Structure 1
């Protein structure tokens, strides 16, 4: 090895080439690239000797090999215990989401149960919508995007809607404050009411914020009919995206030190939000796992599951290794769809009838398996325990077999008696 005291990165790389090649062959590409980048940075800033660099690489290799799962390790049991034990310390309450007082977001154990049960709709769906370059630095432009997204009905901009029984008409009085807040004009509301085709829509000459709908009703009608027409007017859509009940504008300081505006929504509709002008489609996030699966695919759903479960545990101050969470997400998504951990998902779809029966609905599972003539090969942990067999994990995966005839043949060939 050279006695030189200062090495450039290229010189150092050449000196430790054998150990770097070994690392490249053994480490995942991402880890190796990170190791090489840090070695280069350290060499350029502080200077590294070949002996020091070699020790660093060897240490990383040794730590990586130590962290690998041993053959036969019961990873499912370890993951279950690692998540289940801290899970007993999780709270049952629903907290206000930090920084957004207006929204309640389900956290703690109820949210974790939602995730592993793969509920179709979260109890509190929420979206984080980041904007494109044109809209994210201007609060007024961000407000324009928010107005495009927020689902606005006539009920949101009307102060009252009365039934005028004398003239058989509906009286819609609009709230000027709400009209301005939602970015809606009286003309827009009028057009929406005309599309309902309940009758002729007219504006009160003395009050431009009051609209009359002259109802077209036959000779026989009931108060219930009028009430249904009133409900239809209340729920008439003016603009926005279905399911997005409210949108709040939030701000943050980005990496460049500039104030950036983004939107937080109560309700979720990923497919439609991605098509809204002004939205950056690469930076839209929802806590609805099934929406992510339908719009972006199973890999995106798996990543969202890991993120959501990790966030729940971190928020509770529980330190669980992310690899246990990744294993749960892998099992839930390995078939190409998001399945719950339960009798209608992972546990209920096990190939072993005994394992299914041991989880839930014992007699129903056994009768169904018998009716179908299923065979249990006793390969899994649960069914092996039931049958009193050695479990196929740890030392249980090792089998020792003997061939007596081969032993006799070998002894005869060596001149020994069997």
Structure 2
């Protein structure tokens, strides 16, 4: 995602970094070091104060989040400088499960966004955030985020949050950007045709066999795209009939396509010259 900022966050690096930490998913492993004590069947969580300060977290908030994890519920104990997680069974396997659950426990941030990096626009000097992962619906709720200019390359999310027309425009933008980076100049109308085909029924569909190509009525056209044998076998079991009305299926059987000049039958009767017999 590309997330422009507004207000003080766009001008102040410190404010922008706090917004980035609000968006980035923080797990316990990011703010603490964990040590499993198999002798006493406990896990010691040693908090990293600098990481806590940067992310605006406290020891009590972390303990509260850990208590909400099902496997850790009721096992978390807050001590003077760290947190202790006790294993409720004398089992090394259970201790390892608790260790893994605690290490991956979500403390803060938005689901789906594993990393948020600050960047600065060279032209305007304003700060913006680039993320790994996407969650458009939740990011738009974050204060100081410019909702009108926030972009994601997740077309499905755009369709769910902003509607099918926004998803269509996103397909055009992403396709043009990808082709342009490869040095290919494709007429926008070709890309618009593909985007219209992918969104014409109100939902975003893929081009592959799980989308448009897999929904074709022609058996041979589906088989020509991918997984030929399963398509033919399933069609034979269901007794499907192919009327050979499209391009691919007519090329496969070696006959003219019923489009353009192939859509009409032309009979030419030359003019008869004088003296020719009837």
TM-score range, shorter chain: 0.7 to 0.9
SS of residue paired to 1:392: coil
Query: Relative to structure 1, is the Cα distance of residues 358 and 248 closer, same or farther in structure 2, using a 3 angstrom cutoff?
Result: closer
2:111 equivalent to 1:242: yes
State yes or no: 1:183 paired with 2:52.
no
Residue 129 (structure 1) aligns with = 3
In structure 2, distance between residues paired with 1:369 and 1:194: 54
Equivalent in the alignment of 1:197: 73
Distance between the aligned counterparts of 1:152 and 1:375, measured in 2? 55
**Pairs within 5 Å for 1:18-417:** 127-158=1-32, 160-195=33-68, 196-204=72-80, 208=81, 210-213=82-85, 215=86, 217-218=88-89, 221-253=90-122, 258-398=124-264, 400=266
| Whole-angstrom distance in 2 between the partners of 1:354 and 1:193 | 56
- The TM-score normalised by the length of structure 2 is 0.83
Whole-angstrom distance in 1 between the partners of 2:52 and 2:205? 44
Structure 1 position 242, deviation (Å): 1.1
**Displacement after TM superposition at 1:400 (Å):** 5.0
1:168 is displaced (CA, Å) by: 3.6
| CA contact 1:198–1:216 (8 Å) conserved in 2 | no
Counterpart CA distance in 2 for 1:244 and 1:308 is 20
Hey, what's the Cα distance between the residues in 2 that align with 1:186 and 1:375? Answer: 68
Give the structure 1 partner of residue 271 of structure 2: none
| CA offsets 1:110-145 (integer angstroms, 9 cap, x no match) | xxxxxxxxxxxxxxxxx1112233532232222222
RMSD between aligned alpha carbons? 2.7
- Stretches of structure 1 that go unaligned for 5 or more consecutive residues are 1-126, 403-417
Query: Could you say what secondary structure the match of 1:135 adopts?
Result: helix
Aligned residues of 2:38 and 2:92 also touching (Cα < 8 A): no
Given that 1:194 and 1:201 are in contact with CA atoms closer than 8 Å, whether structure 2 keeps it comes out as no
Q: Which has the larger radius of gyration?
A: 1
Deviations 1:174-196 (Å, cap 9, x if unpaired)? 12222233232233223333444
- Secondary structure of 1:285's aligned partner: coil
CA distance in 1, matches of 2:38, 2:239: 70
Q: For the residues of structure 1 that align with 2:117 and 2:43, how far apart are their CA atoms?
A: 32
What is the total number of aligned residue pairs between the two structures?
266
Q: Hey, what's the Cα distance between the residues in 2 that align with 1:349 and 1:193?
A: 47
Q: Deviations over 1:342-387 (max 9, x none)?
A: 3332222112223223334445434433444444333211233345
1:247 match: secondary structure: strand
**Cα displacement (A) at 1:149:** 0.7
Q: CA deviation at 1:306?
A: 1.8
C-alpha distance in structure 2 between counterparts of 1:230 and 1:303, whole Å: 45
Any idea what the Cα deviations from partners look like across 1:387-414, whole Å, max 9, x if unmatched? 5543234433455589xxxxxxxxxxxx
